[in-house]
Each structure stands twice: as C-alpha cells, then as structure tokens.
Amino acid sequence: MDTHLIRNAPHQGTAVPPRPRAVVFDLDGVLVDSFDVMREAFTIAYREVVGEGEAPFDEYNRHLGRYFPDIMRIMDLPLEMEGPFVRESYRLAHRVPLFGGVPELLRTLRDRGLRLAVATGKSGPRARSLLEQLGVLPLFEHVIGSDEVARPKPAPDIVEHALGLLGVSAAEALMVGDAVTDLASAHGAGVAAVAALWGETDEAALLAAGPDAVLHAPAELLALCPAVATPES
C-alpha cells in the first residue's frame, strides 16, 4: 500500500482488507459533485414552504448523508419541504457532474473483478435516475436508497443490505463516504470505512470520526483494491 496516497487516520478497529471483493460507495460528494444543486434545491424548497429569510443550508450541510426527512426532523423544519426539494433536484440533475476520475475508477475496479454498489442518503429512484443520466448505472450491481431500508444512515442497515445483495462479508468490503454518517454506518456494519476528501466535506469532523483510510482523490482507492484473487491464482 502506498502510504503517500493512503493516509491512515485514527480508526475504530476495523481492518482494511488486503484484497477486498466489493466496494460500497456513498453518492453525493463521493461519486457526484451535487453540492451546488443541493443548495439551490434546498433554497427553493425553503422559500416555497417556510417563506422569507435565509435558508439554513449550512446547517443542512452538516447532516448530509442522512435521509432528507430525517434531516428535516433534526432541523425542526416542515417535512413538506421534501416535495419541492425532490422536484428541483430532478429538474436540476443535468447540472450534476461526476467527479473527475470517477468513471475511470469504476471501470478499473470492475476490470479487477470487484463488485460495486451504492448506498446513499437519496431515495433509490432518484439515485438510480441520476446515475443512469450520467451513464454509469450499469457499472453498479445495486444502487440502494435510504427509502429502501428500515433505518437509514447512520444505522448500519443500508451497508448490511448492500453486502447481502452483493454476497460478500463485512470483512471483504470497503465503504467509501464523505460524511460522518457514512463512516458510522460502515463501522456499525463491521466494514472498513474510507473517507473521501475530494468534495465539499468537513474534513476535521470526518477525520475525528475515525476512518480506517483517507483518500484525497478518487484514483487513490485503487491502491486499496488490487485485482480479486481467483481460485487459479
């Protein structure tokens, strides 16, 4: 492992597997750069439902990774904001790009025999729609939204569900996320948690949450993911 690329952080005791068989990705802030679109959608939804005044997006941003209704409850905002937020998110989806290097990363991981899934705070239909629009949906075996599990992040359910669908154990997988809730979900499922620092994230909070590895660019994940061993090898 190239320690210049993979900078270990204080971790929770979850070993990074030397040859993982699967990677579970968060979506926003890891695969796609959706920060500006989320801000605009949140601002419009706030204006429609709450009214005048500055939309508290900075506070909303601190809870990213959670399911939108859960964030509304935490912030004591009307659940009715979800409708216009989702509507605007769909309307503005054409402005959401993949982070540079992500398509190449995903294809290389697939070529190396790794199985890929997405476990996101978004709803499943919205996540799949966005990834399809971006042309990378076929690279994932499963894309799971927070509306498709009993308990969304930071509970471990969504990561455990991904592992079950992929047919791999927690010791054979990595979870890549950019939020404290992602790391908590991964660790709760017994999966090594990899912090992604290339998006709009609170780096200090993420490092304080104890990731098992820290990456500063998508391509650095390749150092953690050699080709999957075959019975012949």
Active site residue 212: no
Active site residue 28: yes
Nearest-5° Cα angle at 93, 185 to 46: 75
The catalytically annotated residue of 28, 33, 70, 157 is 28
Q: Which amino acid is at 131?
A: L
Alpha helices of the chain — where are they, by DSSP H? 35-49, 57-62, 68-75, 82-91, 102-111, 124-133, 157-166, 180-188, 203-208
The catalytically annotated residue of 26, 157, 182, 212 is 26
> Residue 197 CB: number of other CB atoms within 10 A?
17
Distance CA 144, CA 50 (A): 30
Q: Could you tell me which residues come within 8 angstroms of residue 21 by beta carbon, excluding any fewer than 6 positions away?
A: 113, 114, 115, 168, 172, 173, 228
Q: Long-range CB contacts (< 8 A, 24+ apart) of 78-85? A: 78/49, 78/50, 80/49, 81/42, 81/45, 81/46, 81/48, 81/49, 81/50, 82/45, 83/45, 84/41, 84/44, 84/45, 84/48, 84/49, 85/41, 85/42, 85/44, 85/45
Q: Which residues are catalytic?
A: 26, 28
